[in-house]
Amino acid sequence: MPDPNASASAALLERARQVTPGGVNSPVRAFRAVGGTPRFMASGQGPWLTDVDGNRYVDLICSWGPMILGHRHPDVLAAVRDAADHGFSFGTPSENEVALAEEIVARVKPVEQVRLVSSGTEATMSALRLARGFTGRSKVVKFAGCYHGHVDALLAAAGSGLATFGLPDSAGVPGATTADTIVLPYNDIPALEAAFAEHGEQIAAVITEASPGNMGVVPPAPGFTAAMRRLTRDHGALMISDEVMTGFRCSAAGWFGLEGAQDGTPDLFTFGKVMGGGFPAAAFGGRADIMSRLAPDGPVYQAGTLSGNPVATAAGLATLRGCTPDLYSRLDLVAHTIADAASEELSKAGVPHVVQWAGSMFSVFFRDELVLNYEDAKAQDTAAFGRFFHSMLQQGVHLPPSAYEAWFVSGSHDDEAIDQIISALPAAVRAITASDGTIPA
């Protein structure tokens, strides 16, 4: 059954399929996990998206995080226009890059230096190379369900789109590339201790999402981050905290800046999403003695034609400057209002669920027990999520099209947007429990 009110999107998808695999440029956009027709967006304003059929949605994807101020925020728009007015890309250094780096260094205490790149994938790939170059070791530890971009060595038991598709791994990644990758269950200190007991001398780094968001939101259990810090330090390995999703979203300094959240200072961090303000800008950074191993000062090579692009850095800088204490209070309020309303409605209907948090980032898992790791996340009722998702969509609320994702809010989500979400909940919860609740093909 075709989705009602999606004929222009369906036509575009058909055209797109001719020239692009699956019709999309990033797999999760294809709606494979929930079925139906992905909506092609024509414009965004504040918390609203308008698709090519003229339907208007409250946006709970927010570009998977970057649109923390809402779409077309006036300050960001002005900064982008001004930067574009001065030139698009120079291939030389420019001032915006310095200003953005200064803003990041000022916000995240342990970050003494950063190198700008264009995507989160590049950031984690480069951080990993740097850790290996710095330590002279080759093995790396990652956790099942943590997604660090589509870096070959890290595409083992990754979350996000791969969680959605249930692919244990990606084709095209040679065994040799992941042979040095040790995958452990998240929140499992004994597993981490055992890995270090066996391979301690060969481990270059442990990479972790600061608080995983790509298997849904699964915060570190008390003591887990501290154990990671202790074991890496004792064995001469580095700790890399991937804050591409949490960075500048959970707090002004990301997950690291959340009160009581951090019990171990990472050596390296990776950033993306929010810091690009919707443009391709990302970064990795940390201790100066490690960062100095990068070319041109050191022997670890890393480069990029568009790295530190003047328009992208202007957007990122304007976005970070908009990330004030007031903004974070607003995000908390919006997120809690939405999550509380959803939880209340689900409880009334007796639908098993649990809401998990990392700052204002949250997920609703359709399962009645806490989710501590990827195995737990996979035990949720994804079919229930699909029915819920489609009902919300029909009622003008665009959730991430997968049960393995956070719901992202912005500072622009006002009362009208929040009311539209809350009014949609009763029917969406009924859709979960309705015996004839079928997912559109």
Ligand X SMILES: *Cc1c(COP(=O)(O)O)cnc(C)c1O
The single residue among 149, 216, 254, 401 that binds ligand X, judged by CB under 6 A, is 149
Q: Give the C-alpha separation, 103 to 106, whole Å.
A: 5
CB of 381 to ligand X, least distance (A): 24
Q: Which of 269, 265, 235 is nearest to 135 (CA)?
A: 235
Nearer to ligand X, 71 or 148 (CB): 148
Write the interaction track for ligand X spanning residues 279-318; mark x where CB under 6 A is met and - where it is not: ---x------------------------------------
The single residue among 113, 135, 187, 214 that binds ligand X, judged by CB under 6 A, is 214
Say whether residue 245 binds ligand X (CB under 6 A).
yes
CB of 4 to ligand X, least distance (A): 32
Nearer to ligand X, 119 or 360 (CB): 119
Which helix (H) or strand (E) element contains residue 58? strand 56-59
CB of 124 to ligand X, least distance (A): 6
Angle (CA) 117-143-112 rounded to 5° is: 40
Which of these segments, 95-103, 142-150, 329-337, 350-358, binds ligand X (CB under 6 A)? Answer: 142-150
| C-alpha pair distances (Å), 390 with each of 61, 107, 362, 431 | 15, 39, 20, 9
Tell me if 320 sits within 8 A of 107, measured CB to CB: yes
Which of 242, 267, 376, 381 is labelled catalytic? 242
Identify any residues that bridge with 327 across adjacent strands, giving them in sequence order.
Answer: none
Angle (CA) 369-374-379 rounded to 5° is: 45
Tell me if 303 sits within 8 A of 118, measured CB to CB: no
The alpha carbon of 125 is separated from its chain's Cα centroid by a whole number of angstroms, namely 16
The single residue among 27, 46, 66, 120 that binds ligand X, judged by CB under 6 A, is 120
Of residues 172-211, which lie at the interface with ligand X (CB under 6 A)? 209
Q: Give the C-alpha separation, 100 to 316, whole Å.
A: 7
Say whether residue 244 binds ligand X (CB under 6 A).
yes
Tell me if 364 sits within 8 A of 343, measured CB to CB: yes
| C-alpha pair distances (Å), 394 with each of 4, 9, 135, 232, 387 | 8, 14, 53, 48, 11
Nearer to ligand X, 121 or 382 (CB): 121
Which of these segments, 136-144, 242-250, 297-305, 377-385, binds ligand X (CB under 6 A)? Answer: 242-250
Nearer to ligand X, 13 or 154 (CB): 154
CB of 122 to ligand X, least distance (A): 7
Tell me if 177 sits within 8 A of 216, measured CB to CB: no
Say whether residue 277 binds ligand X (CB under 6 A).
no
CB of 245 to ligand X, least distance (A): 3
Contacts 24+ apart (CB under 8 A), 190-197: 192/141, 192/227, 192/228, 192/231, 193/227, 193/231, 195/141, 196/231, 196/234, 196/235, 196/237
Say whether residue 124 binds ligand X (CB under 6 A).
yes
CB of 391 to ligand X, least distance (A): 27
Nearer to ligand X, 119 or 319 (CB): 119
Which of 3, 186, 273, 374 is labelled catalytic? 273
Which of 3, 53, 57, 147 is labelled catalytic? 147
Say whether residue 272 binds ligand X (CB under 6 A).
yes
Say whether residue 121 binds ligand X (CB under 6 A).
yes
Count of other CB atoms within 10 angstroms of residue 440? 17
Instruction: Return the C-alpha torsion angle 409, 410, 411, 417, nearest 10.
Output: -70
Say whether residue 251 binds ligand X (CB under 6 A).
no
Orientation of helix 74-85 relative to helix 310-322, angle to 10°? 160
Nearer to ligand X, 157 or 418 (CB): 157
* 289 is a catalytic site residue: no
Residues in the interface with ligand X (CB under 6 A) total 14
Say whether residue 119 binds ligand X (CB under 6 A).
yes
Say whether residue 366 binds ligand X (CB under 6 A).
no
CB of 143 to ligand X, least distance (A): 11
Q: Give the C-alpha separation, 247 to 270, whole Å.
A: 8
* 147 is a catalytic site residue: yes
Cis peptide before 296 (omega within 30 of 0): yes
Say whether residue 159 binds ligand X (CB under 6 A).
no
- The 3-class SS string of 240-299 reads EEECCCCCCCCCCCCHHHCCCCCCCCCCEEEECHHHHCCCCCEEEEECHHHHCCECCCCC
The single residue among 59, 242, 267, 345 that binds ligand X, judged by CB under 6 A, is 242
* 273 is a catalytic site residue: yes
Query: Rule CB under 6 A: which residues touch ligand X?
Result: 119-121, 124, 147-149, 209, 214, 242, 244-245, 272, 282
- Residues labelled catalytic: 147, 242, 273
